[in-house]
Chains A and B, each alone.
Chain A
Amino acid sequence: MTDAIVETKGVEVRFPLPAHFLSRKKPVLHALNTVDIAIRPGESFCVVGESGCGKTTLGRTIIGLQRPTAGEIYFKGQRIDTMDEATRKPIRREMQMVFQNPYASLNPRRNVFETLAEPVRHLMSERSGAEVRAQVEDVLEATGCDPSWQRKLPHEFSGGQRQRIAIARALVTNPAFIVADEPISALDVSIQAQILNLLNDLQAERGLTYLFITHDLSVVEHFGTRVAVMYLGRVMELAETETLFSSPKHPYTRLLLDAIPRIEGGSFDTPREPGELPDPVNMPPGCPFAPRCPMVEARCRAERPELRRLANGTHAACHFAE
């Protein structure tokens, strides 16, 4: 697909774990295994999964905070994972990130203006001082921040206000693509709605593309255009949001959907067996979901299902999905 704004090809990330110094075996954690996704311009591509599924690692790898062990990452057709810093600099303007914890993502000793001006000064060094100030004020207004905040330090703000500032920092260089790693999960319910609306409005105004990482399927249903469901470093299902919610194909997706508490009640009435994740260091040969899967058969434990396209356009990594 050439029209993708961001594309990953066979991306793998492995973390070497500390080994016993006498042991010859080097344990390795497979955080990502052959992930192929293509994000189209203007969409809100959601990655959903439980802790340890690799969704954050995927976001960090695409933005360049984590080097892939194998595979290729493209931005607007250019390969970026092997680029040197000088060539990459203009691309950094176009790709930004919003982090999960607004209490840690702002440098506590810098005021809002310094925090917002830094990306412009570094990535758009041709701008004059006055232009930098104008750009900072514009982005503050666009994200619903008061211009009087510029001289204040992060500790003077509430969580929701900090997250607005963090979003403003990501937008100050006018990027086309934003990785948002659980941007609302550290916030209170009434603030979550404010931030989600803000992200939606900004997308409409600026034609942004989002990679939205979350564990909350109800946010995906509201926000996403397409979804990748991840489990232990692999994409298990990739589908249009509506299709995923109306006809989930992978048994893991179904398990996730069943786990959403419903306002009308009833999903917790039947007891559930404790589900155990397999050890991500010594992965079994077959399907990673096999130990928890209700429809598991001998084949699942022996042969790992590949992600394949189904009749309705969904991609699923399950031998039995149709």
Chain B
Amino acid sequence: MITLKGFIRRFLSDPVAIGAGAVLLLLVLMAALAPFLAPQNPYDLMQLSIMDSEMPPAWHPGGDDRFLLGTDAQGRGVLSTIMYGTGISLLIGIGAVIVQGVLGVTLGLIAGYKGGWIDAFLMRLADIQMSLSTLMIAIIALAIFQAAFDANTYADYALYMLIVIIGVAEWPKFARTVRSSVLGERNKEYVDAARVIGLSQRRIMVTHILPNTLTPVLVISTIQVAEAIMTEAALSFLGLGMPTDRPSLGSLIRSGFEFIFSGSWWITLYPAIVLVVLILALNLMGDWLRDVLNPKLRRGDE
């Protein structure tokens, strides 16, 4: 067990954690405050002009001060689209992890506590799910969805579809983690003590066992957010993710990719840098959390 005070002390004594935390905070703030900070609103067609298309970054010849990082083929400022796009990527990442977490924690808790055939069934289901690649499931589901509905409906619901598909495809990771912690916890004497009082199974699971399995959940959540963002970026890059008028970082990279050989490298490069930095910060944060919260790796302070 680590106290909040100890946690903060550990955080402040680790430069990597501070760095990753600061970058994450910066990106989240940038995305959340995009409507106030961004020089243009890329969703507002009235603000766009085709005359502004494919302008290089401001410090290059032909650049314009209104568009610091240049513009894309539709005349949207790259900086503005990155700000909005980071928000969409984070939304999909966090949303998908919430879906994964709720599904995975619930099923893992039930499998671990009940045991027997319920456990066997759920874990085989997880095995099957894990043996199918997330990307493959997502490609099939989104392709069907795209074919079934017209482009406008697709554009409206793409965000939710991505959250649900990535969420459902990755629940086994949470379920397995929770199940193995439950197996460790359920034979401890404090659970017996709760049974002696006569608490119902469900109450013991939720009020006693669940809180003691959440530490590893927190650790994998961070890493899973990064993973979900990458999955979404990959899908968008393949043209199955967010539509280009509400672009995520992935769809931005894709939309610029067509122009990379015509010399407009900035459309792809800047969103790609942001994506890499975001994923790196999330993964570093996840690794740091694992080191701090895993008592087996901790030494020294009791």
Binding site for B on A (CB under 8 A): 60, 63-65, 85, 88-89, 92, 95-97, 99-101, 104-109, 118-119, 122-123, 153, 155, 166, 169
- CB proximity of B170 to chain A, nearest CB, Å: 27
State the CA gap A95–B195 with chains docked (Å). 12
Kindly provide the distance from the CB of B165 to the nearest chain A CB, expressed in whole angstroms: 34
Checking B194, B198, B199, B200 against A88 with a beta-carbon cut-off of 8 angstroms, the contacting residue is B198
CA distance A198 to B192 in the complex (A): 23
Q: How many A-B residue pairs have CB under 8 A?
A: 57
- The reply to whether B192 and A97 contact each other, CB–CB distance below 8 Å, is yes
Q: How far is the CA of A89 from the CA of B197 in the complex (A)?
A: 8
Asked if B65 lies at the interface with its beta carbon under 8 angstroms from chain A, I say no
Chain B positions 179 through 198: 1 when the CB is less than 8 Å from some CB of chain A, otherwise 0: 00000000011101111111
B196 and A122 contact, CB distance less than 8 A: no
B209 CB to nearest A CB, Å: 9
Cα separation A64 to B193 with both chains bound (whole Å): 11
Q: Which residue of B lies closest to A99 (CB)?
A: B189
C-alpha spacing A60/B199, complex, angstroms:
16
Assuming the A-B contacts A88-B198, A107-B212, are A99 and B193 also in contact, with contact meaning beta carbons closer than 8 angstroms in the complex?
yes
Q: Shortest Cβ distance from A272 into chain B, in angstroms?
A: 34
Contact between chains at B189 and A100 (CB < 8 Å): yes
Cβ-defined contact, B198 with A123, below 8 A: yes
Chain B, 216-234, CB within 8 A of any chain A CB:
none
Q: What is the CB-to-nearest-CB distance from A92 to chain B, in angstroms, rounded to a whole number?
A: 5
| Contact for B190 among A92, A95, A100, A107, CB less than 8 A | A107
B183 CB, min distance to chain A CBs, angstroms: 14
The smallest beta-carbon distance between A77 and chain B, in angstroms, is: 20
Given A85-B198, A92-B198, A122-B199, are A105 and B193 neighbors across the interface (CB < 8 Å)? yes
User: Taking beta carbons and an 8 Å cutoff, which residues of B are in contact with A?
Assistant: 1, 188-190, 192-200, 208, 211-212
Contacts of B196 in A (CB 8 A): 63-65, 92, 95-97
A107 x B208 contact (CB < 8 A): yes
Bound-state Cα–Cα, A95 to B197, Å = 9
Q: By the criterion CB–CB under 8 Å, are B197 and A105 in contact?
A: no
A106–B190 CB distance below 8 A: yes
Q: Is the CB of A101 within 8 A of B199?
A: no
Closest to A173 in B: B197
Once the chains are docked, how many angstroms separate the CA of A292 from the CA of B197?
41
Task: Tell me the minimal C-beta distance from B243 to chain A in angstroms.
Answer: 45
For B208, the chain A residues whose CB sits under 8 A away are 107
Is B190 a contact partner of A89 (Cβ separation < 8 A)?
Answer: no
Quick one: which of B1, B188, B200 contacts A155, CB cutoff 8 A? B1
Q: Given the known A-B contacts A109-B211, A153-B1, A155-B1, are A104 and B197 also in contact in the complex, defined by CB atoms under 8 Å? A: no
Known: A107-B212, A109-B211, A153-B1. A122 touches B190 (CB 8 A): no
